[in-house]
């Protein structure tokens, strides 16, 4: 991955999603040409790369746009001064355009409803055109990969009043985009233009005309049943009904959040809606995808972490994602994809290049931590729900993952989990969440020598062993549980000695070849606290270190110290601030009683979220120092929506509230509840504990915060400290 910002700028898009269908446009609804990231996407392919509305050849003026629902967007537009046919003039701002976008999984379809009203005192004849273009490009090619083998792009053609785009892929998949119109386009020669539909609207004073544009996506093997044009809503009323139904079902199964603090309430609502949007159903599988537009697919680390972060809001997320990942667990050694027996995948793609095996994501197993997070996610789900069903169903997968862990630690004399591999240029291929080429650097900015044992990965291994040991005891396998606990204790003993930097007062980034410390000061040192491997003294010192100005930017903890030789606040992992990273840090701080720092980071993250459209935290923000009156600095490289960023604020809040569930005992322990700064009350509705639910109200007082039960189904035992 490139560390410098790519020549891609999708910082302020409208973003909609319905299952595998994703739409990104400018705020005025246009899909601009030649800007990767904008478009209509389906299963790793861009089905619509250009879409423009013109009024007599002129772009309308944007007045307002909103995409808060996640499946629908609204835009209000008007006209500039227009000179139309026969010398007629439409004065500025006499036309009101109300535009509604809707994406639906059933189809799948994208519907654009354009309502035009004439507020002039004269009759208006309005030439309106819609232009479309696509080459069915792969997501990989849009991001800079080689084009590879290509199939046959068919010439756009008109089927009656419908416009058809099609691509016979080199993978023998026929990809089709069928565009239908509720009004009849102007007849030839206008409609013979490939990709342009022309309309003429005749509007009396105060009259309204509506045009519905339906873009249906279809993907099927060549030679199978011909695409049918039915299935999408055919009227505005049907479209609105479909929108209401989809919106109402989106957050089924999620706990509800209520707070008088408008800022926090909006950010939490946005976050949970985004997590729900990012789920995908494919066949029998259902899983949380990593983000959009680039990462609507099954991932290991990037799919598992947000399900762990959202355990208090919807514990089913982790079970569904773990089941999907288990289907692809490694069975062999394969150098190209880095598959190993028992290993959990890093990334699975389903587009043309993946089908042709021209990319390694078929799937790719190039992550050292996904297998550990798989074990953690399964164990946390079991404890929270009090249900061994997922563990029983995946027991063979868990055993194979543990065997992979045993083999990995046996490869290293010190018993650490390491990764190896160099690109052709000699640059490390990093397999942790710091997966850019420059994500892991020595303190002088040079590359360390692999194999590399990163600090948080050892913490993951420690936590995975202890959590799975507890589940095994519950399942009656005390012998295996004893062995895992012994291995965890041995790992912790050596880790505390070899990863600690006395001079810096925190953990090093990792160990390189021959056990040499990578002495860079990074956020990883504090993320370790989430895993529980640290001592209380180390936790206190690490907290103090990462809250110094070189690490804490005012928007969160930086990935790399501002005093580092390679510090760059806009770079991917050389000083930027990652919300998910900070959320894990907050959880670790709470574990060790470092509450003041946890509150400070949470407040900074909330402030950052409110500086972005819809309160949506992007993948990362610039690590520039916050000054009075500042807003967070956007970075072109950052993806606008990622699952683990969406889950960051909900996780911080649940950790501050101190929620710790034991589903087997149907018990919820609320430990030292805290409310974020500026929040006086917060209510959680229908938190699932085992097979029961409980609702709680949290209230701020002069000497702290309290919790009270306001609803309790099936008798959850609630203990409040």
User: For 639-655, how does the pLDDT look when each residue is reduced to its tens digit (9 = 90+)?
Assistant: 899 999 999 999 999 99
**Rounded distance, CA 375 to CA 468, Å?**
7
pLDDT band at 300, cuts 50/70/90?
very high
Domains present along the chain, CATH in parentheses:
14-249 (2.70.98.40), 256-657 (1.50.10.10), 665-720 (no CATH)
| 539-559 residue pLDDT tens | 999 999 999 999 999 999 999
Per residue in 182-240, pLDDT (tens digit) is 999 986 556 567 799 999 999 999 999 999 999 999 999 998 876 655 556 777 778 77
pLDDT of the residue at 288: 98
Q: What is the mean pLDDT of the chain?
A: 93
Residues 107, 120: contact at Cβ < 8 Å? no
pLDDT for 325 equals 98
Task: Name the band, by pLDDT with cuts 50, 70 and 90, for residue 5.
Answer: very low
Tokens of 129: 């055109």
Structural tokens at position 29: 């609804």
Per-residue pLDDT at 7 exceeds 60? no
pLDDT tier at 411 (50, 70, 90 boundaries)? very high
For residue 242, what are its two tokens?
A: 């479909």
Rounded to an integer, what distance in angstroms lies between the CA atom of residue 616 and that of residue 673?
Answer: 25
- Torsion 260-264-270-273 (CA) sign: negative
- On whether the CB atoms of residues 621 and 639 are closer than 8 A, the answer is no
Interior/surface letters 695-714, b for 16+ CB within 10 angstroms, e for the rest: bbbbbbeeeebebeeeebee
In eight-state DSSP terms, residue 250 is T
d(C-alpha 98, C-alpha 78), whole Å: 9
For 75-95, write each residue's pLDDT tens digit: 999 999 998 777 788 999 999
pLDDT tens per residue, range 301-354: 999 999 999 999 999 999 999 999 999 999 999 988 999 999 999 999 999 999
pLDDT at 237: 79
pLDDT band of 505, cuts 50, 70, 90: very high
Per-residue pLDDT reduced to its tens digit, 341-395: 999 999 999 999 999 999 999 999 999 999 999 999 999 999 999 999 999 999 9
Mapping DSSP to helix (H, G, I), strand (E, B) and coil, where does residue 373 land?
Answer: helix
Model confidence pLDDT, tens digit, residues 241-264: 888 888 888 899 999 999 999 899
pLDDT of residue 41: 97
* CA-based nearest residue to 98, from 71, 81, 74: 74
Alpha-carbon distances of 185 from 85, 111, 227, 234, 449, rounded to whole Å? 18, 17, 22, 17, 64
Within 13 Å, how many C-alpha atoms sit on residue 436's CB side?
Answer: 16
pLDDT at 239: 78
Tell me the average pLDDT across 647-672. Answer: 97
pLDDT for position 161 = 81
Q: How far apart are CA 348 and CA 353, in angstroms?
A: 12
Residue with structure tokens 């543990």?
A: 402
Q: Which pTM was predicted? A: 0.95
CB 89 within 8 A of CB 83: yes
Contact 363, 347 (CB under 8 A): yes
Tens digit of each residue's pLDDT (9 = 90 or more) over 427-436: 668 999 999 9
pLDDT tens column, 443-495: 999 999 999 999 999 999 999 999 999 999 999 999 999 999 999 999 999 99
Span 4-17, average pLDDT = 69
Q: Does 683 score more than 60 pLDDT?
A: yes
Radius of gyration over alpha carbons of the chain, in Å? 27
Cβ burial 419-436 (10 Å sphere, 16+ → b, else e): beeeeeeeebebbbbbbb
Q: Is the peptide bond before 380 cis (omega within 30 degrees of 0)?
A: no
- Using the CB atoms, write b or e for 575-600: b if 16+ within 10 Å: bbbbbbbbbbbbbbbbbbebbebbbb
Residue 408 has pLDDT above 70, yes or no: yes
């Amino acid at each position: 991955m490139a560390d410098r910002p790519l020549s891609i700028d999708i910082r302020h898009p409208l973003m909609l999603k319905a299952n595998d269908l994703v739409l990104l446009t400018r705020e005025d609804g246009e899909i601009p040409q030649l800007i990767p990231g904008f478009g209509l996407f389906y299963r790793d392919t861009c089905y619509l790369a250009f879409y423009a509305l013109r009024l007599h050849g002129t772009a309308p003026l944007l007045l307002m746009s909103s995409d808060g629902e996640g499946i629908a967007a609204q835009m209000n537009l008007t006209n500039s001064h227009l000179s139309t046919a026969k010398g007629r003039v439409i004065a500025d701002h006499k036309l009101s355009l109300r535009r509604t976008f809707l994406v639906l999984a059933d189809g799948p379809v994208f519907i654009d409803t354009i309502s035009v009203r004439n507020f002039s005192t004269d009759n208006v004849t309005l030439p309106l055109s819609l232009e479309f273009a696509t080459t069915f490009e792969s997501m990989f090619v849009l991001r800079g990969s080689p084009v590879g083998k290509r199939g046959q792009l068919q010439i756009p053609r008109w089927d009656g009043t419908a416009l058809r785009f099609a691509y016979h892929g080199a993978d023998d998949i026929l990809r089709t985009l069928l565009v239908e119109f509720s009004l009849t386009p102007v007849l030839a020669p206008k409609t013979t233009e490939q990709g342009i539909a022309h309309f003429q609207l005749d509007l009396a004073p105060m009259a309204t005309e509506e045009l519905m544009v339906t873009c249906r996506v279809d993907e099927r093997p060549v030679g199978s049943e011909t695409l049918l044009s039915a299935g999408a809503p055919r009227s505005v009323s049907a479209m609105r009904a479909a929108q209401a139904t989809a919106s109402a079902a989106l957050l089924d199964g999620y706990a509800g959040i209520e707070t008088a603090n408008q800022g926090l309430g909006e950010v939490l609502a946005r976050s949970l809606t985004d997590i729900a949007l990012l789920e995908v159903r494919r066949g029998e599988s259902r899983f949380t995808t990593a983000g959009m537009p680039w990462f609507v697919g099954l991932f290991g680390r990037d799919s598992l972490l947000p399900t762990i972060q959202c355990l208090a809001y919807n514990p089913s997320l982790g079970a569904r994602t773990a089941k999907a990942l288990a289907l692809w667990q490694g069975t062999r050694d394969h150098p190209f994809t880095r598959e190993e027996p028992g290993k959990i995948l890093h990334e699975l793609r389903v587009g043309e290049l993946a089908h042709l095996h021209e990319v390694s994501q078929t799937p790719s197993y190039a992550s050292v931590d996904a297998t550990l997070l798989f074990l953690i996610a399964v164990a946390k789900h079991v404890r929270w729900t009090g249900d061994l069903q997922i563990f029983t169903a995946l027991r063979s997968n868990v055993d194979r993952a543990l065997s992979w862990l045993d083999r990995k630690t046996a490869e290293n004399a010190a018993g650490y989990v390491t990764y190896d591999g160099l690109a052709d240029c000699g640059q490390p291929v990093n397999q942790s969440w710091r997966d850019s080429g420059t994500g892991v650097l020595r303190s002088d900015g040079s590359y360390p020598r692999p194999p590399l044992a990163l600090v948080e990965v050892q913490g993951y291994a420690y936590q995975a062993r202890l959590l799975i040991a507890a589940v095994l005891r519950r399942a009656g396998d005390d012998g295996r549980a004893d062995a895992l606990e012994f291995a965890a204790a041995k790992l912790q003993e050596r880790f505390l000695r070899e990863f600690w930097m006395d001079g810096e007062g925190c953990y090093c980034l990792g160990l390189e070849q021959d056990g040499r410390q990578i002495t860079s000061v990074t956020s990883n040192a504090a993320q370790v606290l989430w895993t529980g491997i640290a001592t209380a003294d180390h936790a206190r010192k690490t907290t103090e270190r990462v809250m110094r100005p070189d690490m804490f930017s005012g928007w969160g903890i930086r990935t790399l110290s501002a005093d580092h030789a390679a510090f760059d606040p806009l770079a991917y992992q050389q000083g930027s601030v990652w919300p998910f990273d900070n959320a894990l840090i907050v959880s670790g701080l709470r574990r060790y009683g470092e509450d003041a720092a946890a509150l400070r980071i949470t407040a900074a993250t909330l402030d950052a979220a409110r500086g972005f459209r819809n309160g949506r935290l992007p993948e990362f923000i610039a690590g520039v120092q916050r000054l009075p009156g500042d807003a967070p600095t956007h970075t072109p490289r950052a993806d606008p929506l990622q699952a683990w960023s969406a889950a960051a604020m909900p996780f911080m809040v649940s950790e501050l509230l101190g929620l710790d569930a034991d589903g087997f005992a149907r018990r919820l322990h609320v430990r030292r509840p805290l409310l974020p700064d500026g929040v006086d009350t917060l209510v959680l509705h229908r938190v699932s504990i085992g097979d029961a639910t409980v609702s709680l109200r949290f209230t701020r007082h002069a000497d702290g915060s309290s919790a009270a039960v306001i609803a309790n189904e099936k008798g959850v035992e609630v203990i409040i400290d």
